[in-house]
Amino acid sequence: MFGEQEVVKSHKPRAEIISGIVLMSFAIIMARLWYLQIYKGAEFFKYSLENKLRREVVKAPRGLVFSRNNEILVHNSPRFDAIIIPQYLRHKKETVKRLSKIIAVSDNKIHRLLKNAIGYARYQPVVIKKNISMKEVAIIETEGTKLPGVFVRNFISREYKDKEINSHLLGYISEVNKKQLPKVSKKYKLGDFIGHSGIEEKFDKTLRGKDGYQFIEVDARGRVRKTILENNIYKGIKNKKAIPGNNIRLTIDRDLQLEAYKALEGKVGSAVAIDVHSGEVLAMVSRPGYDPTQFSRGLTSEYWSSLVNDENNPLRDRSIQEHYSPGSTFKTITAIAGLEEKIINEKDEVHCPGYFVLGRRRFHCWKKNGHGKVNVVKAIRESCDVFFYKLATKLDIDVLAKYSRALGLGTKSGISLPREITGLIPTKEWKLKTSGEEWQLGETLSCVIGQSFVLTTPLQLALSYMTLANGGILYRPRIIKEIFDNDGNITYSGQNVIIDKHTISSKTMNLIKKGLYQVVNHPKGTAWWYRGRGIKMAGKTGTSQVVRFTSDKIYHKCEELEYKYRHHGLFTAYVPEHNPKLAISIVVEHGCHGSSAAAPVARAIATKYMEKYFPAERKKIIKEERMAEQKRKKLLEQQKAQESNEES
Amino acid sequence: MFSGNNFIEALKKYDFSFFGLAIIIFIVGVINLYSATHASSFTYMANLYKVQIGWFVVSIAVGFVISFIQPRNLFRYSYTLYIINGILLVLVLMVGDSGMGAQRWLVIGPFRIQPSEIMKVSLVLALGRFYAKNYPEGEMGIKELILPFIVAFIPALLIIVEPDLGTGMILLLIFFVISFYRKLKAKSMVILAIIGLISGIGMYNFGLKDYQRKRILTFLNPDQDARGSGYNAIQSKIAIGSGRFSGKGFQKSSQASLNYLPENHTDFVFAIFNEEHGFVGAFFLIAIYVALLFRFIWLCQSVPRIFESIVVIGMMSIFFWHILINMGMVTGLLPIVGLPLPFMSYGGSSLLTFGICLGLATSISNSRNLF
């Protein structure tokens, strides 16, 4: 026994080495713990927080859009979707059946939607029905336990108060999808809203604000445990508040906008009304429109195809994205050019037999039997073509182009809206460049009456009449009055911008204005029957030929033509005549006449405008008009009396 | 074995130090387990600590009964035990019950036993007897090592094939500690190390399953697949590190309660313990473990027979490797091998094995006073 004890003892050095190894091993472990817990402790502590915290994006509320008088045009309202998160879906068949009864979507459709979602992450929600009613929300919420995996998701929907009325002006928003993502700026993430067309597109940056984020505590499966409200959770981990987008106050007057849209009832066309002394756009309407709210909520394919298949193309903003031959409304500009260039004067008279011969070609006047003797005022008033043909023979097309440009035609106006088109004011150089041919005098004849190459947008037409009404100042059209943040601080305030300034001699102005006034207020004027009350409208009718007619068809009644061949009716005006405040341009597609189709729209807008902004002045005008009317009647009676006296 | 009086006499001389230390560690462990699992939404998880207490009571009882077996009986039956255990290991491979992708269990009536667990003890006993008889004195060279190596290698191989790489490796490591204690020559150790390295590389390339190879790759660079195979390693480090000096406090572990760290009740309890009790807590826990290990080492030098000395050092090595490898993997120093932390990790089989080890050590300790 003793011997063996000795043997055991002889292992002592080895036992000591083992003791040493044990101690050393745990010293290493302790050193490692020191490294992790003391040296890197703070870092790992932060990781553990980040681990359990999920950063949820808090969407910044998009800015609102107001009219010039502070009526809300676009606002955000909560909306609810019924969604299914496949991860939590149990008893699929029964649940789907139950849900289908609540939200009135067929079982098959729900199953199909779920099937389509296969392949995506199972925690990603599948939208079953968008925009469910509050009643449906309530039922889903209360039956929650019987609907495992069915949830109500709420988010903010963009609501456009006047629906199609402001559709082109405001545009719409939609979620950035996978296809669009590479095309848009890097600032946009999947699912962000982005503006399309109108104000929503042009001022997207202004309106969208900055998303914030908030930390919520989640477990490893992503289930939310609680929302963390403290703002400074740990070094560098902070909630960030969303900064709401800035709000925009437009120069648009909602009443005028509504009035214009109403006046275009049953018509296809556009109306633009501009403040003569600032270039502020008070009304800008294109009809037909579309409902931007539907776009923002996610279009149904039915609605989309109804828009796309509509021959009248409701998606196009006719006021800036479509150009028309200005027709006779352009004669005013020709007349200005003629007078200013001293090619004609107020006394010059032309005989109009109903046509004008140039070389071997006969140019027709719209009035088959002619206007007889015509001076410049009468030529404008009765829109005599022959007078202007005659003038055209002496007027260089490039000179006409110069005047046109000075009045805002042929270039983009620079309005803060996307995809404005240029229109066209032809010059000799342009013709040579585009067709390689020399300019023909005959073409000048067509151009001076606003046909042929000349193309203008309704906005440009309104601008030209604004400019001539204010004596030659071409303002840039503005639709933004102010931009202000959520606390009401104004970050941008619209200022008048003068693009170009020419002085038209007062002599010319007086003649032109006289002519334009008589168009509406002279019994022989082309728009006499649409003159209205208390607005003192001065304007010019125009028709724009859609197709060229052979001479035998030229005097056919327009209304008897097939719709798509009918002329466009145009009317441009300003009110009131003696002290112009508002310039208006109206285009009614296939309206046949500028007078019957377009002038009433301008009259409606002008009446609303005068009623709203200058009621006293309007009253005065009405009084004057009444007196003038009585005078006229008296005169007529006297004449009759005289005639009968003479007879007797 | 004893008459009533003798039994009381025996209890007076009974060495309670092993069980005492184990009970201290277990109390810490079960509190930690409760803290890690109490917030679970699954009832069985939340009640896990009760099951653990049950297993611990059983393990200590078994250990207590074993502590009354005379060491000479252990010596006598050590080979028999080893052989029976070896047969069971073969049976496991043939008719074993699979779970979690490995064939580790043997079902006998109502019992599910894991022969690989008991093999740790059987191997120590067998090696103890072998070394006690064959090489009473002097240093050992490679030649003398061949036979005991085969004794250790056969069960290790059977276990690795199950596959249970961790336990298999433990057997070889135990063999190495015992051989070292039994005066293995330094030169032989170098040769052994070279052989180990070569076979390790060979094993990595041909013997390992994909998931095992991935674990090693992950260990070398856990960040490359942070959400996948590297997830546990990273989350474990986050749990430990975030405990900082004094810990987040009892039941304050976010890694466990929010389920970021899987297996937080078994292999990764030490991470949760560190998260809640910090560097200070870990220091005290390790101190108790070291005290237990030194209790073994101290005992191995105070026993009369070489067999007993080797068995005690073998028991020590079982504990040592479990503790070291578990802490090493949890702290990111070693690749992840599923080894429990004695008396801290949840699990009946491991508790039972450690209870048996303590029982054997206590028996050897008590037997000193009988002569």
The pLDDT of A165-173, averaged and rounded, is: 92
Cis omega (within 30 of 0) on the bond before A576?
yes
Q: Which of A18, A44, A52 shows the shortest C-beta gap to B237?
A: A44
Evaluate if residue A2 carries a pLDDT over 80.
no
The larger pLDDT score, comparing residue B357 to residue A134, is at B357
Same structural domain for residues B259 and B363? Answer: yes
- CA–CA gap between residue B150 and residue B157 (Å, rounded): 10
Tell me if chain A has a CB within 8 Å of the CB of B228.
no
Question: Residue A308 falls within a domain, yes or no?
Answer: no
Buried b (16+ CB within 10 A) or exposed e, B4-42: eeeeeebeeebbebbbebbeebbebbbebbbbbbebbee
Pull the structure tokens for residue B266: 């078994």
Pull the structure tokens for residue A140: 């889903």
**Confidence bin at B97 (pLDDT 50/70/90):** low
How far, in Å, are A229, B134, B222 from residue A45 at the CA level?
Answer: 19, 55, 18
- CA–CA gap between residue B12 and residue A42 (Å, rounded): 51
The pLDDT of B275-286, averaged and rounded, is: 94
What does the DSSP 8-state code read for residue A530?
Answer: G
The pLDDT of A575-594, averaged and rounded, is: 93
Same structural domain for residues A84 and A115? Answer: yes
Residues of chain A in contact with residue B304, where contact means CB-CB under 8 angstroms, are 1, 4-5, 8
Phi, psi (deg, nearest 5) at residue A436: 75, 10
**Which run of H or E residues covers position A126?**
strand A126-129
Question: Residue A506 falls within a domain, yes or no?
Answer: yes
**Confidence bin at B224 (pLDDT 50/70/90):** low
Do A290 and A152 meet the contact criterion of CB atoms below 8 Å apart? no
**Confidence bin at A562 (pLDDT 50/70/90):** confident
Cis omega (within 30 of 0) on the bond before B163?
yes
To the nearest whole number, what is the mean pLDDT of chain B? 85
Interface test mutation site (partner A, options B131, B137, B244, max chain A beta carbons within 10 A): B244
Q: Hey, how many other C-beta atoms are within 10 angstroms of the C-beta on A646?
A: 7
The proportion of chain A whose per-residue pLDDT surpasses 70, expressed as a percent, equals: 94
Same structural domain for residues A367 and A234? Answer: no
State which residue of chain A sits closest to B186, comparing Cα positions.
Answer: A14
Tell me if chain A has a CB within 8 Å of the CB of B147.
no
Pull the structure tokens for residue B9: 């006499």
Evaluate if residue A144 carries a pLDDT over 80.
no
Is B331–A36 a contact, with Cβ atoms under 8 angstroms apart?
yes
Q: Could you read off the pLDDT of B159-210 as tens digits, one per residue?
A: 988 888 888 989 999 999 999 998 888 888 888 888 888 888 887 777 777 7
Phi, psi (deg, nearest 5) at residue A569: -100, 130
Helices (H), A449-544: 458-469, 506-521
Same structural domain for residues B58 and B127? Answer: no
Pull the structure tokens for residue A221: 């499966």
CATH number at residue A540: 3.40.710.10
Do A476 and A414 meet the contact criterion of CB atoms below 8 Å apart? yes
State which residue of chain A sits closest to B308, comparing Cα positions.
Answer: A8
What pLDDT score does A88 carry? 75
**Which range (A299-303, A304-308, A424-428, B54-58) has the least confidence?**
A299-303
What pLDDT score does B227 carry? 54
* Residue among B108, B51, B43 at smallest CA distance from B266: B51
Helices (H), A449-581: 458-469, 506-521
Pull the structure tokens for residue A332: 């005013």
Same structural domain for residues A157 and A245? Answer: yes
What pLDDT score does A59 carry? 81
Q: Which of B177, B241, B333 shows the shortest C-beta gap to A37?
A: B241
Same structural domain for residues A201 and A282? Answer: no
Sign of CA dihedral B225, B226, B231, B236: positive
Same structural domain for residues A276 and A405? Answer: yes
Q: Work out whether strand A538-544 and strand A568-575 pair parallel, antiparallel, or are unpaired.
A: antiparallel
What pLDDT score does B201 carry? 83
Question: Residue B306 falls within a domain, yes or no?
Answer: yes
The strand pairing partners of A350, in sequence order, are A374
Same structural domain for residues A451 and A558? Answer: yes
What pLDDT score does A189 carry? 79
The pLDDT of B218-226, averaged and rounded, is: 64
Residues of chain B in contact with residue A37, where contact means CB-CB under 8 angstroms, are 240-241, 243-245, 274, 278-279, 282
Question: Residue B214 falls within a domain, yes or no?
Answer: no
Same structural domain for residues A204 and A277? Answer: no
Euclidean distance between the first and final Cα of chain B, in Å?
Answer: 16
Distance of residue A31 Cα from the nearest chain B Cα, in angstroms = 10
Which 3 state secondary structure label does DSSP give A22?
helix
Tell me if chain A has a CB within 8 Å of the CB of B93.
no
Token pair 């250990």: residue: B63
**Confidence bin at A510 (pLDDT 50/70/90):** very high
Q: How many CB pairs under 8 A join A and B?
A: 143
Phi, psi (deg, nearest 5) at residue A568: -80, 140
What pLDDT score does A486 carry? 87
Evaluate if residue A540 carries a pLDDT over 70.
yes
Same structural domain for residues B26 and B116? Answer: no
Same structural domain for residues B359 and B244? Answer: yes
Q: Could you read off the pLDDT of A12-50 as tens digits, one per residue?
A: 999 999 999 999 999 999 999 999 999 998 888 888 877
Token pair 């037909």: residue: A288
- CA–CA gap between residue A197 and residue A317 (Å, rounded): 9
The proportion of chain B whose per-residue pLDDT surpasses 70, expressed as a percent, equals: 87
Which 3 state secondary structure label does DSSP give A541?
strand
Phi, psi (deg, nearest 5) at residue B103: -105, 95
ipTM, two decimals: 0.92
What pLDDT score does A233 carry? 66
Same structural domain for residues A87 and A19? Answer: no
Tell me if chain A has a CB within 8 Å of the CB of B72.
no
Q: Could you read off the pLDDT of A215-258 as tens digits, one per residue?
A: 777 665 555 666 666 666 666 667 788 889 999 999 999 999 99
- CA–CA gap between residue A195 and residue A601 (Å, rounded): 31
Question: Residue A310 falls within a domain, yes or no?
Answer: no
State which residue of chain A sits closest to B137, comparing Cα positions.
Answer: A7
To the nearest whole number, what is the mean pLDDT of chain A? 88
Do A249 and A68 meet the contact criterion of CB atoms below 8 Å apart? yes
**Which range (A117-131, A267-281, B187-201) has the least confidence?**
A117-131
Same structural domain for residues B83 and B183? Answer: yes
Is B238–A51 a contact, with Cβ atoms under 8 angstroms apart?
yes
The pLDDT of A431-456, averaged and rounded, is: 92
Query: Domain span at residue A15?
Result: 2-39
How far, in Å, are A158, A215, A405 from residue A55 at the CA level?
Answer: 25, 5, 56
What pLDDT score does B9 carry? 76
The larger pLDDT score, comparing residue A511 to residue A143, is at A511
Pull the structure tokens for residue B225: 């697949």
Do B196 and A30 meet the contact criterion of CB atoms below 8 Å apart? no
How far, in Å, are A451, B115, B201, B212, B214 from residue B205 at the CA level?
Answer: 87, 28, 6, 11, 12
Same structural domain for residues B238 and B355? Answer: yes
Same structural domain for residues B252 and B150? Answer: no
Decide which of B159, B174, B208 is a domain's last residue.
B208
Number of domains in chain A: 3
Cis omega (within 30 of 0) on the bond before B115?
no
Residues of chain B in contact with residue A43, where contact means CB-CB under 8 angstroms, are 241
What pLDDT score does A260 carry? 96
Same structural domain for residues B128 and B200? Answer: yes
Residues in B 162-201 with any Cβ partner in A closer than 8 A: 177, 180-183
Same structural domain for residues B274 and B183? Answer: no
The single-letter code of the amino acid at A536 is: K
Pull the structure tokens for residue A499: 């693009």
- Measured in residues, chain A has a length of 648
Do A65 and A50 meet the contact criterion of CB atoms below 8 Å apart? no
The model's pTM = 0.67
Query: Domain span at residue B268?
Result: 1-68+229-329+340-371
**Confidence bin at B368 (pLDDT 50/70/90):** confident
Same structural domain for residues B63 and B26? Answer: yes
The proportion of chain B whose per-residue pLDDT surpasses 90, expressed as a percent, equals: 45
Residues of chain B in contact with residue A23, where contact means CB-CB under 8 angstroms, are 290
Distance of residue B106 Cα from the nearest chain A Cα, in angstroms = 34
Same structural domain for residues A211 and A116? Answer: yes
CATH number at residue A160: 3.90.1310.10
SS (H, E, C) B157-181: HHHHHCCCHHHHHHHHHHHHHHHHH
Same structural domain for residues B249 and B149? Answer: no
Residues of chain B in contact with residue A54, where contact means CB-CB under 8 angstroms, are none
Number of domains in chain B: 2
The larger pLDDT score, comparing residue B279 to residue A295, is at B279
Same structural domain for residues A244 and A259? Answer: no
**Which run of H or E residues covers position A620?**
helix A615-647
Decide which of B145, B177, B208 is a domain's last residue.
B208
Q: Could you read off the pLDDT of A55-106 as tens digits, one per residue?
A: 777 788 899 999 999 999 998 888 788 888 877 787 888 889 989 888 888 8
Same structural domain for residues A200 and A68? Answer: yes
Question: Residue A638 falls within a domain, yes or no?
Answer: no
Do B218 and B329 meet the contact criterion of CB atoms below 8 Å apart? no
**Confidence bin at B48 (pLDDT 50/70/90):** confident
* Residue among B301, B136, B113 at smallest CA distance from A15: B301
Q: Work out whether strand A72-84 and strand A126-129 pair parallel, antiparallel, or are unpaired.
A: antiparallel
Question: Residue A296 falls within a domain, yes or no?
Answer: no
**Confidence bin at A10 (pLDDT 50/70/90):** confident
**Confidence bin at B35 (pLDDT 50/70/90):** confident
Angle at B285 between CA B284 and CA B291, to 5 degrees: 90
Question: Residue B344 falls within a domain, yes or no?
Answer: yes
* Residue among A284, A391, A420 at smallest CA distance from A333: A391
The pLDDT of B60-85, averaged and rounded, is: 93
Q: Could you read off the pLDDT of B245-268 as tens digits, one per residue?
A: 988 888 877 776 656 666 677 888
Same structural domain for residues B368 and B253? Answer: yes
Long-range Cβ contacts of B319-326 (<8 Å, 24+ apart): B319/B289, B319/B292, B319/B293, B319/B354, B319/B357, B320/A22, B320/A25, B320/B177, B320/B293, B321/B170, B321/B173, B321/B174, B321/B177, B322/B170, B322/B350, B323/B289, B323/B293, B324/A25, B324/A26, B324/A29, B325/B166, B325/B170, B326/B267, B326/B270
The pLDDT of A582-600, averaged and rounded, is: 94
Same structural domain for residues A194 and A263? Answer: no
Beta strands in A235-392 (DSSP E): 237-238, 247-250, 269-275, 281-287, 350-352, 355-358, 361-364, 372-374
**Confidence bin at A198 (pLDDT 50/70/90):** very high
How far, in Å, are A130, A244, A293, B92 from residue A155 at the CA level?
Answer: 11, 15, 14, 59
